[in-house]
Each structure stands twice: as structure tokens, then as C-alpha cells.
Amino acid sequence: MYFELMASMMCADYGNLEKEVKSLEEGGIDSFHIDIMDGRYVPNYAMSLNDMRYIAGSASKPLDVHLMVEHPNNRIGLFLDSLRKGDTVYIHPEAEYHPSTTLQSIINAGMVPGIAINPGTSVETVMEMLRIVKKVLVMSVNPGNAGQMYLPYVGKKITKLLSIKEDMDFEIYWDGACSADKILEYAPKGVAGFVLGTTLLFGKEQPYAETLQNIRELRF
């Protein structure tokens, strides 16, 4: 069974960021998940534009950029100009007056368009955008902080998205509180990838290559 694994870089060791990027790539990570937070859309500041630029310049694997910012269309060019064609950019529909305009800018720049769905956002409110995005990042926790508890009602939302993803041509990705039991349950159902943070990847007493291999082989 194949599923993508993305490293949540807000959990990385910033004192050795270049080493972290190289070790994760050598260990077999599929992409680098970049959480950009503005302190307004979410009550926290996380990674910056310069952090993203540094990783984009150091990594050969794709970037998976999650914009947790108000009105991303006002500054979307700053991010798109620093990324490579084929990188993914997610926006939150609630953060923009006209999210489809922002998504079109992402498409025009050669990036993969995505939306992130908060726990309190229903599938019905984003239905039209599902027709133009390629990736849907389902937040299983409220956005803004690492290390939060899984919100169990999100599972029904994922089930609903799984039932329509083939018809609407998008893939589903999991973000937040990604534990072994969640991968064991949802990867076979069709969730395409998982963002890995402190629960499974970072802060462990073993090399990234060993950790990632165990996850891929579902050896928990």
C-alpha cells in the first residue's frame, strides 16, 4: 500500500535545519510540509517566508505549503515566486473573500492547488472549490499549534470526502495528531498522505530512515 509522508517542518530542529532537510530526504520523506502562520488567522506565529525559501533552496523533494494567513491573495505572489513548479499550496477558504481567485493564481503559477478544511468547516461549504483543487488537507485538530488532541468527529468528514473524491478528482491528506492507529485505519480507505509531526516523526531516538520505514511498512 502506498501513501505519502510529509514532514511537518515546524517541528524540526532549527539549530540544524540543513541537516534535518538532508536526513529527512535520505530517509525517504516525500515532501516538506511548511506551516505559515500570521498570528491573525490563527493565534500563533510559526514558519516564515524566509524559512520556506531556505527549505525550498535546500530540498530536492517538493514543498507542501499550508498558508494559515488572512487574505492570502494579497501576498500570494511572494510565496509563489519562491516555490518550484509542482509544489503544493493550500489556502483556507474562510481566510479569503474570493478563494477561487487565489486558487487560480496558484494554478497559473504551475503549482498544485489545495484547500485546508478546519474541523468546524463542513464539506458542503467548500463543494464548488473541490471541483478545482487537486488536494484537500483535512485538519483533524484546530489549526495553529502542534501537539493537539485528535477531534474524533473529523472522521465522518473524511468518510464523506472519500465518497466523492473520485468523481471530483482530488486527493485527501491528513494533518494533525497523526498517530499510528490513524494511518492504519485511513490509509487503506484511501487517504493519500499524512503530515507527520511530534507524534510519529520528530523527537524520536532513532534515525529518520528507520522511523519512516516502520511507518511505510505499518510496523507499530
Query: Which residue has cell 536526513?
Result: 23
The three-point CA angle 7-185-190 to 5° equals 75
- CA separation for the pair 189, 156 (Å, rounded): 13
Q: Supply the pTM of this predicted model.
A: 0.94
Question: Which one is catalytic: 13, 30, 35, 51?
Answer: 35
Band of the pLDDT at 184, cuts 50, 70, 90?
A: very high
Q: Is 175 a catalytic residue?
A: yes
Q: What is the pLDDT of residue 43?
A: 87
Q: What is the pLDDT of residue 214?
A: 93
Task: Give residue-wise pLDDT tens across range 116-169.
Answer: 999 999 999 999 999 999 999 999 877 756 555 667 788 999 999 999 999 999
Q: What is the pLDDT of residue 47?
A: 93
Q: What is the pLDDT of residue 209?
A: 97
Q: Is 38 a catalytic residue?
A: no
Question: Which one is catalytic: 38, 64, 87, 175?
Answer: 175
